């Protein structure tokens, strides 16, 4: 069985490259348009697979042509897709993305079939989680299913990594079953009430997550400032790579995929963060979500 199980969203992304996102009532003309595979769950699964992990995906697609296309794309990079359920009379999830010249993006999501990833669907694939070494979660599917999945994993001795994105309030029942959490600055603030302006604030937010919920490892991604890594209250700042960003759409997903891949290979937390950072740095130099994710050899070359 796969060492890594990823439970999460599967989307089709409609991406427009623009000088700046439109204001209210404004119509603009895009410089470039493409349809690419996306969804945080699928992005992180693809990142892990391309970077060297043995991955199984648990998720839902619609009974439409794009859903079958998304499944084929995941299988093509070596992901086990037995855990992907096709939902009758539903469309595959969709994201509309504006990518600005600065590399920043504005994203709107329609969940579609992702909303049908219920506890009943999860129960059909519980064995996949129990047979893995690590479960990776995000927040584009129903929260109660995530709670149940985390409990299943913990009962089986499987490590749980939660990327709490997109930002939303979370029940303590979920957070108390998480071993590692990987929020960005805004997500960390929502979870802790601590605004992260200085590196010391990241340390305070990490300590809050340790003490309040018993989370062993906290990684707060700080964009260009790098990552704050805290293990059981011992924190350190890890600087990132300097690159010319073109599109930041899948940077966080690529980081998470790379980070868990390195952990599964027995690397230290610091080494795992650096590997994730290298992969994410390369991803922002390219357009798209899954299409921007680098190969393992590319990420390793950047680390040299």
Give the residue ranges of DSSP H helices in the chain: 40-50, 65-76, 119-124, 126-130, 143-155, 172-175, 185-192, 199-213, 251-264, 269-283, 296-303
Q: Please check if 11 is assigned to a binding site.
A: yes
Q: Please check if 286 is assigned to a binding site.
A: yes
Q: Tokens 């129960």 map to which residue?
A: 123
Q: Please check if 13 is assigned to a binding site.
A: yes
Q: Please check if 140 is assigned to a binding site.
A: yes
Q: Please check if 225 is assigned to a binding site.
A: yes
The two structure tokens encoding residue 152: 């299943």
In this structure, are residues 148 and 121 in contact, taking their beta carbons and an 8 Å threshold? no
DSSP 158: -
Q: Please check if 295 is assigned to a binding site.
A: no
Distance CA 50, CA 191 (A): 31
Given the residues 64, 179, 201, 253, select the one marked as catalytic: 253
Residue of 240, 236, 228 whose CA lies nearest to 274: 240
Q: Tokens 């929020």 map to which residue?
A: 183
| 253 catalytically annotated | yes
Q: Please check if 291 is assigned to a binding site.
A: no
Distance CA 301, CA 145 (A): 38
Q: Please check if 201 is assigned to a binding site.
A: no
Q: Please check if 260 is assigned to a binding site.
A: no
Helix (H, G, I), strand (E, B) or coil at 226: coil
Q: Please check if 31 is assigned to a binding site.
A: no
Q: Please check if 233 is assigned to a binding site.
A: no
Tell me the binding residues.
Answer: 11-13, 39-43, 140, 184, 221-226, 247, 249, 252-253, 283, 286, 288, 292
Tell me the binding residues for substrate.
Answer: 11-13, 39-43, 140, 253
The catalytic site residues sit at: 253
Tell me the binding residues for K(+).
Answer: 247, 249, 283, 286, 288, 292
Tell me the binding residues for ATP.
Answer: 184, 221-226, 252-253
């Amino acid at each position: 069985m796969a060492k890594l199980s990823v439970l999460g969203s599967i989307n089709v992304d409609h991406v427009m490259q623009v000088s700046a996102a439109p204001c209210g009532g404004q119509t603009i003309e895009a410089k470039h348009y493409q349809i690419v595979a996306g969804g945080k769950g699928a992005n992180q699964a693809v990142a892990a697979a391309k970077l060297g992990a043995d991955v199984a995906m648990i998720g839902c697609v619609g009974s439409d042509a794009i859903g079958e296309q998304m499944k084929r794309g995941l299988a093509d990079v070596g992901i086990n897709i037995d855990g992907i359920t096709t939902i009758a009379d539903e469309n595959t999830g969709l994201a509309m993305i504006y990518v600005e010249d600065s590399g920043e993006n504005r994203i709107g999501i329609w969940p579609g079939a992702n909303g049908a990833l219920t506890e009943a669907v999860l129960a059909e694939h519980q064995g996949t989680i129990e047979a893995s070494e690590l479960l990776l979660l995000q927040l584009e599917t129903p929260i109660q299913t995530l709670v149940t999945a985390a409990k299943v994993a913990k009962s089986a001795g499987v490590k749980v990594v939660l990327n709490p994105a997109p930002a939303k309030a979370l029940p303590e029942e979920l957070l108390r079953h998480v071993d590692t959490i990987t929020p960005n600055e805004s997500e960390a603030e929502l979870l802790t009430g601590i605004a992260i302006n200085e590196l010391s604030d990241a340390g305070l937010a990490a300590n809050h997550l340790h003490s309040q919920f018993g989370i062993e490892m906290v990684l707060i991604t700080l964009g260009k400032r790098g990552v704050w890594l805290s293990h059981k209250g011992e924190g350190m700042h890890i600087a990132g790579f300097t690159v010319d960003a073109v599109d930041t759409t899948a940077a966080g997903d690529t980081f998470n995929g790379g980070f868990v891949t390195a952990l599964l290979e027995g690397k230290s937390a610091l080494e795992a963060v650096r590997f994730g950072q290298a992969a994410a740095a390369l991803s922002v130099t390219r357009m798209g979500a899954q299409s921007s994710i680098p190969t393992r050899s590319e990420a390793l070359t950047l680390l040299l």
